[in-house]
Structure 1
Amino acid sequence: MKDPHGESGGTYRNPVLAADWSDPDVIRVGDDFYLTASSFGRVPGLPLLHSRDLVNWRLVGHALRRLEPADRFAVPRPDGGVWAPAIRHHAGRFWIFWGDPDLGIQQVNAPAIHGPWTEPRLVKEGKGLIDPCPLWDDDGAAYLVHGWARSRSGVKNRLTCHRLSPDGERVLDEGRVVVDGDALPGWFTLEGPKFYRRDGWYWIFAPAGSVETGWQGAFRSRSVFGPYEERIVLAQGESEVNGPHQGAWVTTAAGSDWFLHFQHRGAFGRVVHLQPMRWDADGWPAVGSGGEPVPGGPLPVGGLPTQRPATDDDFPDGGFGPQWSWLANPQPGWARSHRGAGLRLGCLPTADAHDLRLLPHVLAQRLPVGPRRVTVELALDAEAPGARAGLTVLGDAFSWIGLERAGDGAVRLVHRFAEQVAERERDAAPPGPAPTGRALLRVDVLADGRCRFAAAAGDADPPVPSGFDFAAVGWGWTGAQLGLFAAAPAGADDAGTATFTRFRVT
């Protein structure tokens, strides 16, 4: 069977990124495409992906090292941090603007995609300022359009445009509402604008109608401040793709137009689809097929090898790949460097050891759309009673399987969970012996988001199923996470470490 994503078949299948790459924005520089996405409270933030064909993507790093203010992001905040960034290339530099809904619009820039990236600069202070996108015009003037978060500002369904200093460092006026969604019959939750210029028209691509069931709108005007006329250019229609919207228009070097957008997939978060885009006789974008999403089609650029963002990790020298992020700003001692393979996490004493949703020192990556099998090997080297470590599927509810040091000094194989309304975990299955302090941990992620846990203590093979099917759920504005953690009860002395090796997603 030919690979529909690769050079052998010449076609692609949606989604092109089958995990939570929320609110994607994409640009082309030469023959290269670059994508960034929302990272919310995860650290590092602002993921950077590279592609040569808009289908095969590789994660090459992050643009944001830490989140500020540091004390606010010392704990997990899946509903805060980096919302809906926009990436642009201007004056020989890469620029990323994003909105922190509690702080304001921020910006970083760099001479190359690998950096070095500047420290964040606050472009406009204020609560509820989200989804910013800059536009540098042909005459040297610059503008910034953004949306509003009602949860912080009391305002929604509006797009506001500012004059922006050409150096991208500050807005130059109070801004003007250029699109009022309340004045458009049937439009609501208008947000996520992206700013473009084409053939004398100013274009704002902006979604509306909610994450689960919304649509993609396009707005155009001969003047940057309007008035703008509107049209819906992509909606679910008779397709199976719910809420197709919020993304990016990009043009290949050969001149073909494409639109990337997300689809909300419950526990898996917002996965990324690619749609062909043309221009109709009236000069409006025609996205997908008849304004509805397509399941796939011919590759935008052929002849390139298949690649996907990395998931597997052998943790050489105690390090970890760019697919991993902490749930908050990291601190010394969370991960210990050493010679040899394996991720060595400190079993940090904390009062929150029984609720993983409160732990900042969970190392996590996106939950891939199933079916997938996830495995990792674990050795618990902590002597403190109550010290534990494991593999988790973590969202607003969580389940984990791993090892724990009992009060009598023995190591037990444990499987625990907590519902969305629960304040602490409880057993999903009776604890079992793990006399060597080692285990192989496994979770099978099904296509509907159910997760089946299994484990084998020591050298036992194969892993034995444990507990019940756990229904993964999202968390804040993110999908569920695959996480590795180590912890100990508050007051534990020299709690020791846990070592994870051979993390695989197959």
Structure 2
Amino acid sequence: MIKPIAGILLILLVACQPQSRTEDRITSSDVQANDISSVYISDKGDGTYDNPILHADYSDPDVLRVGDDYFMTASSFNCSPGLPILHSKDLVNWRIVNYALPHLNYKENFDVPQHGKGVWAPSIKFHNGAYYIYWGDPDWGIYMVKTNNPFGKWSNPVLVKEAKGVIDPSPLWDEDGNVYLVTAWAASRANINSVLTIWEMNAEGTKIISEGKHVFDGHENHHTAEGPKLYKKDDYYYIFAPAGGVSTGWQLVLRSKDIYGPYKEKVVLAQGKTDINGPHQGAWVETQTGESWFLHFQEKGAYGRILHLQPVNWVEGWPVMGIDNDGDGCGEPVLTYKKPNVGKNYPINTPAESDEFNDGKLGLQWQWTANHSIKWMVHLPGQDYLRLLAYPKPETTTPLWMVPNLLMQKFPAPEFTATTKLKLTLEWEVWQSKMAGLTVMGNDYAYLVLAKDEEGYKVELYNGSMIDKYTAKESLEAAASISSNEVFFRVDVAALGLCSFSYSEDGTNYKKIGTPHQAQPELWIGAKVGLFCTADPRFRTGGYADFDWFRIDELQKK
């Protein structure tokens, strides 16, 4: 849903104003320019905002303020590049500016899709002039990267603790020089959960040096306590942790004057009478003016884990989130609220969506489904299209579910239209050996392809369904002949993620193909939309697809 015209007018008035930065070394000159979304804007342009602030899948967010700048990261699982870095000036308007993990290069197995594995629940911190991100890989352990410039290059990953099932790390550098890390546990790997543990680290934050100590047991009242964030305020140690499950839980806060407890507990945010289920894992942040805010996610089916922003009021040492209508110390999520006071007004920003593929640069919204390879794409300076090479699938029977060279982005809104123009060049005339197209990917998925057989060029719609993390079954649903190797593909995403595919030979008249596909979430993430070009490994290498552009537009209601 597009916000009022007043908001768009505000964009025009303020877009040319320069933005300040807190430190000379922090620059965003290399960050790709960002167009304002045509399908979802949280900022209402009148000093207020609507939740969610991002109707996109940024699972397990953590937020940090340094001076006048806010930085956020989120889980990226098996996708590459990983650890997205988003930047904001006011906590409402965000844009993607970088990735801290270009490749999941700490383990070779991420060269193929590892659905649901990889980078879980990161935490971003600032200490002694450096930015740190810690995350848990549930199969390998706790890792860390760091930088002096969040817009630039981050360090190679450091293994802080080798472990299976230790997840959701959050560090704290204490005033006395001690360094701590709180974690949770993944039952699928560690065979325990609902327990939070404190570990001591070395001064550099690069290695755990203690055996750890459990500080909270949620089995009795707060099952599935996880995603802890560790803070210190007014001589108290605080652990913010969701409990009760992603879809049905609540926000729990623990506090103690000793890092190892005992901790008192209080539920400070719950769904209440709202439609905001969860509300789940997130981060507390203070503005320059002393206001407190909490950014968290809500699980929303095919759309993934979308982001909300709640005001926080400290009452008798406890952070009450949202609006506490009955005065019991537990708030409910707000749907509309005044924007944070950050000292001044800033332009409206949204994460990148559409991409014209100009000048050899991909937009930062794109991720691959595995560690990306230079062999998948040719995108030269001055080139105004994206060339995806017809790269062979691992096996002839490999479903799209396990193809690593899928170029994908998150669903950006409840409703939208995604359209692309492509041209398929086969080079060697081997019928049905190469194809390119548009896909909506999830546990159930669909994809529309351009291919060729003995009768000529055709478009085909396939349906797929995950069997397990490594296999899926697929079937051809519909096909139609077209006159050339150039075509426009479109998917209309309606309410609740109902997707209708269509194609056009002239870019004006679109023909529906097949039946609507119900988008589904993937393992821990929402559905994604994107592009690909593949080849049958049995036949001669050669061929490519040129994508002129990829555009996200408002869904036109019929």
**Do Structure 1 and Structure 2 share a fold, with TM-score over 0.5?**
yes
Question: Tell me, what secondary structure is at the counterpart of 1:236?
Answer: coil
The equivalent of 2:340 in structure 1 is 300
Residue 327 of structure 2 is aligned to residue 287 of structure 1: no
1:230 aligned residue (265, 271, 286): 265
Q: Is the 8 A contact 1:342 1:502 kept in 2?
A: yes
Partners of 1:62 and 1:365 in 2: how far apart? 14
TM-score (norm 2): 0.87
> Could you say which residue in structure 1 is the equivalent of 2:481?
433
Match of 1:371 among 415, 424, 437: 415
Matched, 1:219 2:254: yes
- Which residue, out of 471, 481, 484, partners 2:518? 471
Contact 2:42 2:54 in 1 (8 A): no
What does residue 25 of structure 2 align with?
none
Contact 1:15–1:272 under 8 Å retained in 2: yes
1:54 aligns with 2:91: yes
The counterpart of 2:306, out of the listed 249, 254, 271, is 271
What are the superposed Cα offsets for residues 358-414 of structure 1, whole Å, 9 maximum, x if unpaired?
A: 1001011112232101111111112432211101000111111120122x1722111
Specify the SS of the correspondent of 2:155: coil
TM-superposed deviation, 1:69: 4.3
- Alignment match of 1:26 (pick from 60, 63, 79): 63
CA offsets, 1:460-502, max 9 Å, x none?
5221111111111111111111121111112121231011122
User: Quick one: which amino acid aligns to residue 362 of structure 1?
Assistant: L
Task: Give 3-state SS (helix, strand or coil) of 2:189's partner.
Answer: helix
Query: In structure 2, how many angstroms separate the alpha carbons of the residues matched to 1:357 and 1:258?
Result: 38
Alpha-carbon distance in structure 2 between the residues aligned to 1:284 and 1:355: 51
Residue aligned with 1:413, SS: strand
Partner of 1:402: 449
Offset of residue 71 of structure 1 = 2.6
Q: How does 1:2-401 map to 2 (within 5 A)?
A: 2-3=6-7, 5-6=42-43, 8-182=45-219, 185-280=220-315, 282-290=316-324, 291-301=331-341, 303-338=345-380, 339-350=382-393, 351=395, 355-382=399-426, 383-386=429-432, 387-401=434-448
1:434 Cα shift? 2.3
Contact 1:378–1:498 under 8 Å retained in 2: yes
- Residues 411-422 of structure 1 mapped to structure 2, 5 A cutoff: 411-421=457-467
Structure 2 letter corresponding to 1:248: A
Give 1:76 deviation, angstroms.
0.9
Letter in 2 for 1:192: G
Give the TM-score normalised by the residue count of structure 1.
0.96
Any idea what the Cα deviations from partners look like across 1:323-371, whole Å, max 9, x if unmatched? 1011111123101133521111111122256611010010111122321
Whole-angstrom CA distance in 2 between matches of 1:287 and 1:135: 22
* Cα distance in 1, alignment partners of residues 151 and 497 from structure 2: 34
Q: Which moved more, 1:350-359 or 1:494-503?
A: 350-359
How many residues in Structure 1 have an aligned counterpart in Structure 2? 500
Root-mean-square deviation (Å): 1.5
AA of the residue aligned to 2:358:
P
Distance 2:63 2:317 in 1: 22
SS in 1 for 2:530: strand
- Tell me if the contact between 1:454 and 1:463 (Cα under 8 Å) persists in the aligned partners: yes
Q: 1:400 aligns to what SS in structure 2? A: strand
Deviation at 1:424, TM superposition (A): 3.3
